[in-house]
Amino acid sequence: MSHADPSSDPPFLRITAELRRRVESGELRPGDLLPSTRQIVREFGVAMATATKVLTALRQAGLARPVPGIGTAVDTPGTRPRTPHDRRRPATSLDRGRIVGAGLAVADVEGLAALSMRRLAADLDVTTMALYRHVSSREHLILLMADTVFGEFPLPEPLPPGWRRCLEVAARQQWAMYQRHPWLARAVSFTRPLPSSRAMAHSEWMMRALDGLGLDAATRLHIHVCVAAYVRGVATSLEAEAEAAAHSGITDEQWMDTRGTPALMGLSKNPAFPNLALVPPRSLDLDTLFEFGLQRLLEGIVTLIDEPVRQAGREPWRA
């Protein structure tokens, strides 16, 4: 009978099994600190997302517990009292900022699917009810998280010269925002907008950049939404890519080089796909696709804006 080779397991499973072995063998004893995410990255050569997922799995298995300000410690049965009052003592220092920060830490690495009030209570070592004194629901928490993220990426004042330059700046700023927080693309909606003052500040800034061009407010709003929705649409792929990297332990570039490109190159040799055979490697890079689509979208907006500018007796300004 053949046995599966453990080395063929995804890095996340192999590292989790190795740290579990160290705990169960006594190499790491109750109360000892487990390797930090950065130590796991260095020791095993994996992505930070994979390292974080390993520690999360050990906590969920009851083998680890967070020690605020220190790290993650071995936590096996019998190492400390297990009564709810002992384990989940409400923290006097708990506030909305800490809860939002903990929510961002989970969502940034593991996605919105991993975010729950119970999970945050465990990470913060408080009761679940303690969280509800500061946030009313998971949806309220996500709103606060999104508002915080938009605040991390303010648009410049004064506005850059030229409406097109302004829209490019706003689009790239939002693209960077989604790259840092891939879960946000799922949280943003344009049919049911987030009641976030910082998100609305982005909208106001982009509409202000289009002022004085002969466009009414509704048209300026639609231009803003088209650009923002385009960025968000491309960004919806970011969370899936982050999750794939966490599970496999390899980046998208590494996957494309080792698996994607060879497979596509093999298919492109099929005489039924002569045009695909001409495409250079890495042509599906998200940054490249984002820039290409952004410029085509802006060119379309140029056509819209030029007409009322000409009617007003001025030269079109494409700066």
pLDDT at 138 over 50: yes
Q: Residue 312 — very low, low, confident or very high, per pLDDT cuts 50/70/90?
A: low
Pick among 1.10.10.60, 1.25.40.10, 2.40.40.20, 2.30.30.170: CATH of 86-135: 1.10.10.60
pLDDT at 11 over 80: yes
Supply the CATH classification number for the domain 149-251+261-311. 1.10.357.10
pLDDT at 66 over 70: yes
So what's the pLDDT on residue 167?
97
Per-residue pLDDT averaged across 99-115, rounded? 88
Higher per-residue pLDDT: 309 or 225: 225
Higher per-residue pLDDT: 201 or 194: 201
Supply the CATH classification number for the domain 6-76. 1.10.10.10
**Before 156, cis peptide (omega within 30)?**
no
140: Cβ contacts below 8 Å, ≥ 6 apart: none
So what's the pLDDT on residue 276?
73
So what's the pLDDT on residue 122?
87
So what's the pLDDT on residue 172?
96
Quick one: what percent of the chain has pLDDT higher than 70?
A: 77
Q: Which residues of 96-125 are buried (b: 16+ CB within 10 A; e: fewer)?
A: eebbbebbbebbbbbbbeebebebbbbbbb
CA 238 – CA 244 distance, rounded (Å): 10
Higher per-residue pLDDT: 257 or 2: 257
Domain chopping of the chain, boundaries: 6-76, 86-135, 149-251+261-311
So what's the pLDDT on residue 2?
43
274 secondary structure, DSSP code: T
Contacts by residues 136-142 (CB-CB < 8 Å, ≥ 24 positions apart): 141/99, 141/100, 141/103, 141/115, 141/117, 142/103, 142/112, 142/115, 142/187
Q: Is the pTM of this model over 0.75?
A: no
One fold for 6-76 and 86-135: yes
CA 124 – CA 314 distance, rounded (Å): 60
pLDDT at 260 over 60: no
Q: Treating both helix axes as pointing N-terminal to C-terminal, what angle do 11-24 and 37-44 enclose, rounded to 10 degrees?
A: 110
pLDDT at 233 over 70: yes
Task: Write down the mean pLDDT value for the chain.
Answer: 81
So what's the pLDDT on residue 142?
95
pLDDT at 85 over 90: no
- Note the pLDDT tens digit of each residue in 159-179: 999 999 999 999 999 999 999
So what's the pLDDT on residue 161?
94
Q: Residue 156 — very low, low, confident or very high, per pLDDT cuts 50/70/90?
A: very high
So what's the pLDDT on residue 83?
37
85: Cβ contacts below 8 Å, ≥ 6 apart: none
